[in-house]
A and B are shown apart, each in its own frame.
Chain A
């Protein structure tokens, strides 16, 4: 590990040579040469060369020629090496979130550059951030979004994202204006609109920072999707409000009509982004239908279309984030059906890779950009901003949750609320937005304050959230905890109600979901998915169906390994603890699928993909005994909980299936060889 760090430090002197001031796109032209190029041999100022007779130069170096790409590669290399070093460093990730470490590396590098060059190190230009660094992260988030969970909780997510952000923005903006009025002497020239503008950019909860902290915490699916969804959607709201206030600042005066138009603009921007994303998503799905003859470039279309949707909506001043997320969500199911296995894997790996690199670069640049000449400090402003951010977020979450819990069956508990409120970390979006403000006397103050807030939230909140949550869990245990029976029965009732709602069908969201599924099946799938793949997907569904029945019908458990009577002793506290942990982690997983929480760093094999592939292998060997290879079936994270007993238990044989079918009294299918069963299932599956 030490080697990695020293290597990273060795890289930084490499950055001394260039005199670049900002991270620019590779299209930058190299510096003009002062000497006319010699015939066929490149030469320019600053080239080292061995002093040989003029005819031939054996060794020469021409840095300016490769300057721009070289520097970009060095930065990316630094970021990746830092990431590697982080993961190799053992105990540190448990205590310090990765984002903190990366910022510290950035601070170090920035300090070194400043120390050597005595001028500000390169900063993150807003254009580079918005055009190059942010899209991969958002695309990755959108592509791996757990669709069903997201749409089930969409109401709550929108509630938090839109209303919560509005509450925060107005609250912080107005309170800051109050503070500025109080401190007339030093802050007198900050107007109300400036405060509102600042409020809009500082209220933005950053998905990048939040997710990187959540990796280490145990959050159940529901909480994860709430925070994740909220951070995605509130980006759109924040950017819109920011641009709105900025345009207000440019107007000579703001009338009521302008405010009304601003409100309309918010709606237009959000919906516009949505439609742009939908359009590009459908076109991408259609294109992927025809890629069977050129499978190698199929992944490219996914990236091109997504990026195009982002750029198009940025061009039209619509919400790029909404566009790219919608595009990814729309095209995912069709692309996955159309494109080969390897291309699917390539798409997923590239997405993970790019978003990982992007995120690392962002944090490092946050660190580097902190070292600057431009700081302006003001105690009242900075401290009050910090306090107000915390207060307004906490009150917002409390109020909103109180209302939304009346409408949800699964209440958002106090622990969840604490995590949502305290986990509202700010990140690079605020940072870039503050640089984009038109210049005015107090701009430097805003920049400094933003940096302080980001560093505070990432470091202090990021590092303390896990211990605080554990403390909260401990405190909760002192009061009356729900008993194990209560938890189990409550969960059963939840599943029961979900099932009854499905049966009844017209309750709220199920109505629209059913309608959409019908529309999808009748028109979209026929149009957008390749002919032969349509049939394959329905046969795969049948295999899945049979698979599920086998699993679900495994009612005849083998004899319990230990006589149950011998267990009738009071359980030790640590056994109770482990039981509770198992229950809380697993009972909240709605789908009962082994889909782990969304992870930036690893590509968990999607359980459904495994489920489709496995039956194809298994059912080839009719009449033979086969064993369930459970170890490869489920992702590595849970592998520790499996042991030999699972494999023994799950080893199904052909004869067992016949017995299993008998047990389920609700099925009129008699014990038949598997082909006949398949026919019956096929028939009623394809009928629906």
Chain B
């Protein structure tokens, strides 16, 4: 690892990223190559259009939301550091190599991963998944094959099952509870190639 960090000199924030996220130096270099490939006009920043050119993302039912997750509200550009930090959510939890100084929970813990998924639903960032937000997601995943009434039924059922405090919305804790039987770490991890 030590010999590789010399190659990282041209990567902005390279050393900082090594410390903050759990990526190895080789992985960061490959991610940088990918970043440069996506950044067609070489500005050092990604815009939403650059991510939209990724093939197959347009066939993904929640493709637009995924792109939105990379660009928090208000920001229209994405630099390499933010790119890597977002992708760090998908590291397997056992490769957690954050050094001393990581105050908050690492991004790739189960809670971090679940929070990322939660934010895909919760577009208005109010901390709850409202019925409408759930319906929107359902519609994009199922919408062309199922009628509107059936969608309403399904959304209704999902909220009934999860909503413990009867506020007709799903909070983060309720979300986490409904997924307690699922092995999140296995399901939400990508094996990044070295």
By a beta-carbon cutoff of 8 Å, the part of chain A in contact with chain B is 409, 480, 482-486, 488-508, 513-514, 517, 545, 548, 551-552, 554-555, 557, 560-562, 564, 567-568, 570-571, 575-576, 578-579, 582-583, 586-587, 589, 591-592, 594, 634, 638, 641-643, 645-646, 649, 664-668, 684, 687-688
Interface of A (DSSP majority class): helix
Contacts of B90 in A (CB 8 A): 497, 500
The answer on a CB contact under 8 Å between B187 and A490 is yes
Interchain Cβ contacts under 8 Å between A and B, 24 examples = A485-B162, A489-B182, A493-B187, A495-B61, A495-B141, A496-B66, A496-B120, A499-B66, A500-B87, A501-B190, A503-B57, A503-B87, A505-B37, A507-B190, A557-B148, A560-B152, A561-B148, A570-B160, A579-B150, A582-B154, A583-B142, A586-B142, A587-B141, A587-B142
Number of inter-chain CB pairs below 8 Å? 184
Across the two chains, which residue of chain A brings its CB closest to B180?
A486
Within 8 A of A (CB), among B139-163: 139-142, 144-150, 152-154, 156-158, 160-162
Within 8 A of A (CB), among B43-90: 48-49, 51, 53-64, 66-68, 70-71, 73, 87, 90
A483 to B181, CA, bound (A): 10
Contacts of A568 in B (CB 8 A): 156, 160
- Per-position binary interface string of chain B over residues 168-194, scored 1 when its CB falls under 8 Å from any chain A CB and 0 otherwise: 001000010011011010011011110
Determine whether B131 belongs to the interface, using a CB cutoff of 8 Å to chain A: yes
Contacts of A592 in B (CB 8 A): 59, 61, 141, 144
Across the two chains, which residue of chain A brings its CB closest to B55?
A517
Minimum Cβ distance to chain B for residue A502 (Å): 5
Which of A505, A552, A560, A666 touches B68 (beta carbons < 8 Å)? Answer: A666
The answer on a CB contact under 8 Å between B66 and A484 is no
Minimum Cβ distance to chain B for residue A592 (Å): 5
Given contacts A484-B154, A567-B153, is CB(A492)–CB(B147) below 8 Å?
A: no
Minimum Cβ distance to chain B for residue A235 (Å): 30
Across the two chains, which residue of chain B brings its CB closest to A551?
B144
Within 8 A of A (CB), among B3-18: none
Determine whether B135 belongs to the interface, using a CB cutoff of 8 Å to chain A: yes
The answer on a CB contact under 8 Å between B141 and A649 is no
Given contacts A485-B162, A500-B90, is CB(A579)–CB(B141) below 8 Å?
A: no
Minimum Cβ distance to chain B for residue A126 (Å): 44
Contacts of A638 in B (CB 8 A): 145
The answer on a CB contact under 8 Å between A490 and B182 is yes
Contacts of A488 in B (CB 8 A): 137-138, 141, 154, 158
Max chain A Cβ within 10 angstroms of own Cβ: one of B57, B136, B141: B141
How many B residues face the partner with a CB closer than 8 A? 71
The answer on a CB contact under 8 Å between A571 and B153 is yes
The answer on a CB contact under 8 Å between B54 and A505 is yes
By a beta-carbon cutoff of 8 Å, the part of chain B in contact with chain A is 30-31, 34, 37-38, 40, 48-49, 51, 53-64, 66-68, 70-71, 73, 87, 90, 116-117, 120-121, 131, 135-142, 144-150, 152-154, 156-158, 160-162, 170, 175, 178-179, 181-182, 184, 187-188, 190-193
Given contacts A503-B51, A505-B54, A638-B145, is CB(A485)–CB(B158) below 8 Å?
A: yes
The answer on a CB contact under 8 Å between A498 and B37 is no
Contacts of A501 in B (CB 8 A): 190
Interface of B (DSSP majority class): helix
Contacts of A578 in B (CB 8 A): 150
Which of A500, A503, A513, A567 touches B152 (beta carbons < 8 Å)? Answer: A567
Contacts of B191 in A (CB 8 A): 507
A198 to B162, CA, bound (A): 56
Contacts of B181 in A (CB 8 A): 480, 482, 486
Given contacts A491-B141, A557-B139, is CB(A502)–CB(B62) below 8 Å?
A: no
Contacts of B53 in A (CB 8 A): 684, 688
The answer on a CB contact under 8 Å between B153 and A575 is yes
Contacts of A552 in B (CB 8 A): 64, 140
Across the two chains, which residue of chain B brings its CB closest to A406?
B186
Contacts of A503 in B (CB 8 A): 38, 51, 54, 57, 66, 70, 87
A634 to B150, CA, bound (A): 18
Which of B73, B152, B193 touches A507 (beta carbons < 8 Å)? Answer: B193
Contacts of A496 in B (CB 8 A): 62, 66, 116-117, 120, 188
The answer on a CB contact under 8 Å between B55 and A502 is yes
The answer on a CB contact under 8 Å between A545 and B58 is yes
The answer on a CB contact under 8 Å between B57 and A502 is yes
The answer on a CB contact under 8 Å between A649 and B54 is no
Which of B38, B62, B140, B178 touches A485 (beta carbons < 8 Å)? Answer: B178
Which of B60, B158, B160, B182 touches A495 (beta carbons < 8 Å)? Answer: B60
Contacts of A562 in B (CB 8 A): 149, 152
A568 to B163, CA, bound (A): 12
Which of B57, B67, B70, B187 touches A497 (beta carbons < 8 Å)? Answer: B187
Across the two chains, which residue of chain A brings its CB closest to B73?
A665
The answer on a CB contact under 8 Å between A483 and B57 is no
The answer on a CB contact under 8 Å between B135 and A557 is yes
The answer on a CB contact under 8 Å between B31 and A684 is no
Across the two chains, which residue of chain B brings its CB closest to A684?
B49
Closest 6 CB pairs of A and B: A499-B66, A485-B178, A666-B48, A485-B158, A567-B156, A499-B60
Across the two chains, which residue of chain A brings its CB closest to B178?
A485
A643 to B148, CA, bound (A): 10
Contacts of B137 in A (CB 8 A): 488, 492
Max chain B Cβ within 10 angstroms of own Cβ: one of A494, A495, A507: A495
Minimum Cβ distance to chain B for residue A438 (Å): 50
Contacts of B184 in A (CB 8 A): 493
Given contacts A503-B66, A552-B140, is CB(A493)–CB(B117) below 8 Å?
A: yes
